[in-house]
Structure 1
Amino acid sequence: MPEGPELHLASLFVNRVCNGVVFTGAVEKSEVSKSPDVPFTCDAYRVSATSRGKEVRLTLTPIKTNSDDKPPKRAGAKAEQNQEPMDVVIRFGMSGFFRFTPENELPKHAHLRFYTCEEPRRVLSFVDTRRFGSWQPNGTWQPDRGPCIMFEYESFRENVLSNLADKAFDRPICEVMLNQKYFSGIGNYLRAEILYRLNIPPFTKARNVLEALKSQKEDDEKTAVKGELEARSGKKGVTDSAPDLQTDGDPDLLSLCHTVPLEVVKMGGKGYDPEKADYSAFKAWLQCYYVDGMQSIRDHNGRTMWFTGDPGPLAPKVTKSPKAKKRLKKEDHDYTDTKKGAKKKHTETSTKESKVSKAANGTKTPTVQKRVSRRRSITKAPKSTQEEQVNHSKENAKPKGRRKSSTSVAQSQASRAKRTRGSKSTPEEPSTPQINNTGMRRRKSSSATEPQRRGCRATRGSVRQST
């Protein structure tokens, strides 16, 4: 996320590329942006920029031109012209920056565009890939933001030390440093670098860290007379707008909040410049933020804090590094998507192989062999044979109740034969069930007894007629 130094570098970039360039027409906004339209239209105007904390203010200043030198009007331009300057305050969000390109090379995510009056035209555009940035036409600096850490250092220091009774300072110092009401311009990497240089545990109570600086404030008040004498002698002191490093005395937390951002600004284009995207000098400058060997945990706001040593008494309970957590989550995700599926596939393959090997070695259980052979015989045999085999399988199924012995089965069949009217048992009718070639018991077909039953019916009918 761009912080105070990056926004100041962005303002310097706008002033450099727009120096002597005349813009014309209306300010255009992309269709997907949710920020308001900029109602500014002028035949000729200039653009300049200033920064304060995490805000950049673009000033659109109309210029007077002769009637012969007026640039041609663009199609669809508004007839009403702005005669007064307009300030557009821009906040960069997570990924905002400025680009100055030819019109045919307009960036993809250019959400606010200012066109020049030259041919071929060029465009100053505010690019924001994630669209977290915003702008406000006719805007001013937000009142809830404190003095700038770089260019309003004395006011910044006074604002912090005079409001230590605020409940905001009950929180850890690393979280208070992101509060733009008191630390306007400080962001994630700046707080890590400042606390690392002073060896302050990031999750120490902010009031405990800053109360020690009150005594230093009293000493500064005692030396006010000395400063007046130096001013009378013609020596120039440090003003709020001067970007000079404060090197007098031992550095403390508030002084490093002023000097460390200015170190990034002094790197210029070799530092955090989105136009060149060369971060080698900036990465070499970092001592703690995203440096190998450092620890990192998420604060209570979900922001990653980089540090070394003891985190402090107010550290969150979950002290696991977010970087390690992300890597672990990725490994778990890969495990569930690939390794688990591979394991399942391996299990199915091994089960099939074990079945094939058992079949080859003849190690299958008898029950399984019977079922397999029975299914194969039913599918391959003719339809009539299939029906007989199905009947055999039903007859041989285990009854739900108590199983009868073979002797009781034979006796029941014999008693059935005796109860048949008009029928006589013959030696040809066996009293015991037959056994087929497969060793399975089956009942005798009823085709042999059908003629006898028909005869019995006929005899009964004849007897009735004779009677």
Structure 2
Amino acid sequence: MPEGPELHLASRFVNRVCSGRVFTGKVVKSPVHKSDEVPFHAQSYIITAASRGKEMQLILSEIENPPKSKGRGKKPKNLANLKTMKILFRFGMSGKFQFTTVSEVHKHSHLQFFTNDDPAMVLSHVDVRRFGRWEVDAGWSKVRGPDPMFEYQLFRSNVVKNIKSSAFDRPICEVLLNQKYFNGIGNYLRAEILYRLSIAPFEKARNVLEGLNEDPPEVKPKVKGQEVKVKVEDPKVDILHLCHTVPLEVVNLGGGGYDPEGKSADYSKFNAWLQCYYQPDMNNLVDHNKRTIWFKGPVGPMAPKESKSRSPVKKRKKKETASANDEESPKKKAKAEEKAKVNTENKKKSPRKRPAKTQVSTPSRKSSKKTSVNAKKVENTPRQAKTQIPDAHEVKGYATRSKVTVNGMMKSKTPKKKTAKHR
């Protein structure tokens, strides 16, 4: 699920691809999506983006006298902004933005903005699972707190001032997902933050957070353009400070956990950065909200009773081993095909025996239904004597090829002559 760093990377991506471009025409919405239409009608407009925690805004600004040269270039200057519209996005489980040609638009694209280029390009909001939503003419949500990455001071103050709230009576791992105080922190970030400080995930949140100051601790700042990690051994580093620095580390990866181009994502940097989340040597447990927390060491006193751990790591190992042994897979496929051929040949041979069994079925059962204990019918219709032979216990006599026994007396008959006369 996209978290604070992924939303920020998405906003940077939109600002990069939309810089110097002019958009035109109607904003096209997919009919299958439940969010509202975007009633923005402008002959020419520009698009910018901003993020805050787990929310992102697209700002559509109408312009006059667009530049004659189409395509990318410098941002238009001295253009009067006529009207603007803000669209607030929440990405859900799989939301993202793509910038493609018209022919390459993703089939799960639910909102499309077209440029006036020749050929036209499309900025589209893609959401395969359709859990994401957008709101038209909406500002930042009031129920979400400040961004820990870019509103650090406000973020700390919001947590420290509300430490006596009943929300902090819950386990720390669950409070970290409360967007009212930890806007942008998600499942993998909470695991990494708690692991670096060796905090039990089901320790009471107030016990972990009480005593912290509103002012941030004085630690070595990050150097711009470099991946400088704060040492956990520093006593000045607290959990609120890691809520600020750990997400920035993901941003400094340069999009390792986000796929803005719509191609197969390269998660190698992101997977190498992870220390706790989804690692095979870590423990995991399902919390009260049915979310899986990854940790190492004691679980804490507020762990849910009879809670079970999930084991998706084993499934991942199977996939990894299968991908690592791709060279051997054709041999396995060949063997499977040979076995399938042998099975099909055996099946073709074996079913031939079934019709023979049905032909050998006793005719007495069929004939007993058709010839109901009546010897006169057998005498009057000699043809039936050959095909429909009644049982001996049902009638007093039965027919044979050359003789008929009636009441114990043997009498010879010539069926051929009778059949001839009958004919």
Q: Could you say which TM-score interval applies, normalised by the shorter chain?
A: 0.5 to 0.7
CA distance in 1: counterparts of 2:49 and 2:229, whole angstroms: 23
- 1:305-316 pair list within 5 angstroms: 305-316=293-304
Question: Contact 2:110–2:125 at 8 Å: present in 1 too?
Answer: yes
Q: Percent identity over the alignment?
A: 55
AA matched with 2:203: T
Task: Establish whether residue 263 from structure 1 lines up as the match of residue 246 from structure 2.
Answer: no
CA distance in 2: counterparts of 1:169 and 1:380, whole angstroms: 83
2:305 match: 317
Structure 2 unaligned regions, length at least 5:
71-80, 316-360, 368-384, 397-405, 410-423
CA distance in 2: counterparts of 1:3 and 1:200, whole angstroms: 21
Task: Establish whether residue 287 from structure 1 lines up as the match of residue 275 from structure 2.
Answer: yes
2:154 match: 155
How far the C-alpha of 1:378 sits from its partner, in A, is 5.5
Question: Contact 1:91–1:135 at 8 Å: present in 2 too?
Answer: yes
Question: Contact 2:195–2:295 at 8 Å: present in 1 too?
Answer: yes
CA distance in 2: counterparts of 1:40 and 1:391, whole angstroms: 96
Structure 1 residues 379 and 13, CA, compared in 2 at 3 Å: closer, same or farther? same
Question: Contact 2:6–2:257 at 8 Å: present in 1 too?
Answer: no
Question: Contact 1:246–1:258 at 8 Å: present in 2 too?
Answer: no
How far the C-alpha of 1:252 sits from its partner, in A, is 1.2
AA matched with 1:262: L
CA distance in 2: counterparts of 1:134 and 1:70, whole angstroms: 35
Task: Establish whether residue 58 from structure 1 lines up as the match of residue 51 from structure 2.
Answer: no
- 1:434-449 pair list within 5 angstroms: none
Structure 1 residues 324 and 151, CA, compared in 2 at 3 Å: closer, same or farther? closer
SS of structure 2 residue aligned to 1:23: coil
Q: Could you give the per-residue CA deviations for residues 216-268 of structure 1, whole angstroms, max 9, x where no partner exists?
A: 418x59x9xxx9xxxxxxxxx99xxxx99888853211110000000000111
Structure 1 residues 2 and 390, CA, compared in 2 at 3 Å: closer, same or farther? farther
Question: Contact 1:111–1:126 at 8 Å: present in 2 too?
Answer: yes
Task: Establish whether residue 388 from structure 1 lines up as the match of residue 392 from structure 2.
Answer: yes
CA distance in 1: counterparts of 2:256 and 2:191, whole angstroms: 21
CA distance in 1: counterparts of 2:13 and 2:205, whole angstroms: 35
1:111 match: 110
Task: Establish whether residue 29 from structure 1 lines up as the match of residue 33 from structure 2.
Answer: no
AA matched with 1:8: H
Question: Contact 1:61–1:85 at 8 Å: present in 2 too?
Answer: yes
Comparing 285-294 and 318-327, the one that deviates more: 318-327
Structure 1 residues 18 and 313, CA, compared in 2 at 3 Å: closer, same or farther? same
1:101 match: 100
2:258 match: 272
2:413 match: none
CA distance in 1: counterparts of 2:183 and 2:228, whole angstroms: 18
Structure 1 residues 376 and 86, CA, compared in 2 at 3 Å: closer, same or farther? closer
How far the C-alpha of 1:391 sits from its partner, in A, is 9.0
CA distance in 1: counterparts of 2:228 and 2:158, whole angstroms: 20
Quick check: which has more Rg, 1 or 2?
1
SS of structure 1 residue aligned to 2:44: strand
How far the C-alpha of 1:326 sits from its partner, in A, is 9.7
2:237 match: 251
How far the C-alpha of 1:388 sits from its partner, in A, is 3.3
SS of structure 2 residue aligned to 1:40: coil
Question: Contact 2:280–2:313 at 8 Å: present in 1 too?
Answer: no
AA matched with 2:25: G
CA distance in 1: counterparts of 2:150 and 2:244, whole angstroms: 8
1:418 match: none
CA distance in 2: counterparts of 1:171 and 1:4, whole angstroms: 22
Question: Contact 2:13–2:260 at 8 Å: present in 1 too?
Answer: no
How far the C-alpha of 1:376 sits from its partner, in A, is 6.3
Structure 1 residues 389 and 315, CA, compared in 2 at 3 Å: closer, same or farther? farther
AA matched with 1:6: E
Question: Contact 2:62–2:84 at 8 Å: present in 1 too?
Answer: yes
Question: RMSD in angstroms over aligned alpha carbons?
Answer: 3.3
AA matched with 1:264: V
Count of paired positions: 317
CA distance in 2: counterparts of 1:116 and 1:14, whole angstroms: 13
Structure 1 residues 40 and 387, CA, compared in 2 at 3 Å: closer, same or farther? same
Structure 1 residues 390 and 127, CA, compared in 2 at 3 Å: closer, same or farther? same
1:49 match: 49
CA distance in 2: counterparts of 1:132 and 1:29, whole angstroms: 16
How far the C-alpha of 1:274 sits from its partner, in A, is 4.1
Structure 1 residues 138 and 145, CA, compared in 2 at 3 Å: closer, same or farther? same
Structure 1 unaligned regions, length at least 5:
72-81, 228-236, 328-374, 393-444, 449-467
2:291 match: 303
2:121 match: 122
CA distance in 2: counterparts of 1:112 and 1:278, whole angstroms: 25
CA distance in 1: counterparts of 2:21 and 2:56, whole angstroms: 19
Q: Could you give the per-residue CA deviations for residues 39-66 of structure 1, whole angstroms, max 9, x where no partner exists?
A: 1111111111010000011111112107
The structure with the greater share of residues assigned to helix is 1
AA matched with 2:213: K
Comparing 196-205 and 57-66, the one that deviates more: 57-66
How far the C-alpha of 1:269 sits from its partner, in A, is 2.9
Question: Contact 2:59–2:85 at 8 Å: present in 1 too?
Answer: yes
CA distance in 2: counterparts of 1:93 and 1:385, whole angstroms: 78
CA distance in 1: counterparts of 2:17 and 2:27, whole angstroms: 18
Q: TM-score, normalised to structure 1's length?
A: 0.62
CA distance in 2: counterparts of 1:105 and 1:12, whole angstroms: 22
How far the C-alpha of 1:387 sits from its partner, in A, is 3.6
Q: TM-score, normalised to structure 2's length?
A: 0.68
AA matched with 1:117: N
SS of structure 2 residue aligned to 1:269: coil
How far the C-alpha of 1:324 sits from its partner, in A, is 6.1
How far the C-alpha of 1:83 sits from its partner, in A, is 2.9
How far the C-alpha of 1:188 sits from its partner, in A, is 0.5
Question: Contact 1:273–1:279 at 8 Å: present in 2 too?
Answer: no
CA distance in 2: counterparts of 1:300 and 1:105, whole angstroms: 42
